Structure 1
Amino acid sequence: MVDHQHSNPKNLQILFEDNHIIVINKRPGDIVQGDKTGDMPLSEVVKAYIKEKYNKPGNVYLGVVHRLDRPTSGIVLFAKTSKALPRLNKLFAEKEAKKTYWAIVKNIPEKTTDTLTHWLKRNPKQNKSYAHTYEVLDSKKAILEYRLIKKLDRYAVLEIDLKTGRHHQIRTQLSKIGSPIKGDLKYGFDRSNPDGSIHLHARKLTFIHPVKKEGITIVAPPPKETIWQACR
């Protein structure tokens, strides 16, 4: 499974930090918030970093604004103040934060650019979502836009703009059109990656600063791995 020795405060890839927010480039395998595995979540690593860097006594405040699936990499934004958190939550809830992802998939999609609309139904027991072409009971509408940005020997690199934020949305929708993400066994790729990751990367985030009210765009370099480096 994934190597966890990188989960320490000295090793964080910090993309942006000020008094109100901190943005991390998450590595595949890190969990954003604690779960039943009991593994050290990224939120606790960031707290330890803040405590150490600013010599903070007592508990460090850190608000989790959004999550990324454990096997994915890329941008995770945290709030450092209780003033910033509700504002960021509102921004994300109202779809005012623009998220762009990169995915390495097998089977190049028929169209080089397309908007995919499906209805996703989640199965909590399997921790998996299923995509339907029409509305079914308890399903939620999921929309994304993709464009082909590079062809590799056996794979295609897609850039994805998320229009809705559903459980495993990109993984489910790309699988539905016959282009599962490299390493994503759960959604139909034929073998796992050696480190348990999948080739899905939260590449870019554009949002309005919760306190300063100015626009910010953050771009995260993909993991230092051969196939990702070929995407640059």
Structure 2
Amino acid sequence: MPISVGEPLLAVAGLRSGYGKIAVLHGIDLAIAAGEVVALLGPNGAGKTTLLRAISGLLPVNGGTVRFGGADMAGADPRTAARAGLVHVIEGHRVFTQISVTDNLLLAGYDLPRRERMARIEEALEYFPEIAAKRADKGGALSGGQQQMLAVAQGLVQRPKLLMLDEPSAGLSPVLVDRVLGVVRELRSKGTAVLLVEQLIEKALAVSDRVYAMAQGQVVLEAGAQEADLPHRLERAYFGQDVPTALHG
């Protein structure tokens, strides 16, 4: 989906951020249109998670701008970002293990009227029949893959305009990876934008419209997800043309 017509849903320009005095991001430019799926790729330590955290308000913006839906989001906290429709599903299984699946989802929509919350919970569970069948079970009784699905469902309860997923396939079996990435495809078909950080490059590209690649805190490549010879171009962008690496899995 082109981003040149009108203002993009998310527009990041010259973004600098990091942890205390440790600078990680060195002037990131990135844009996502409404309803577009963008893959964010790069080797470990490239700054991908830091970028998501800075966009969602978990880390301070030390320079540059973050605009979402035309509004300035630099300095906004995660709650403000989520209310605007910018929802970040953090890497790892961030679920409450001692309460039920339903209660986990109720907490995700805590600031909504109860009737609205229940409607959104049912809406989110439609994507994940595996956990819908376990709605009365405690979060800790779910498998790791099911907990990851629950974490994504928590994000969907907030009915995001942009859902940022940080390595949703981490630790999942191939079948569950396909289920989670299938949800990304469904979200796109319904007009929800997704920013997807993923190590499984071929699978990420298969559900994406465009791709940004990062290395050492900078964007080193921007391309259409289906452009010819993209895996080889990614290798060159990450490591230089003479470094062979298996980026095709």
TM-score, with length taken from structure 1: 0.30
Higher helix share goes to which structure?
Answer: 2
TM-score w.r.t. structure 2 length?
Answer: 0.28
**Greater relative CO (CA pairs within 8 A, separation 6+):** 2
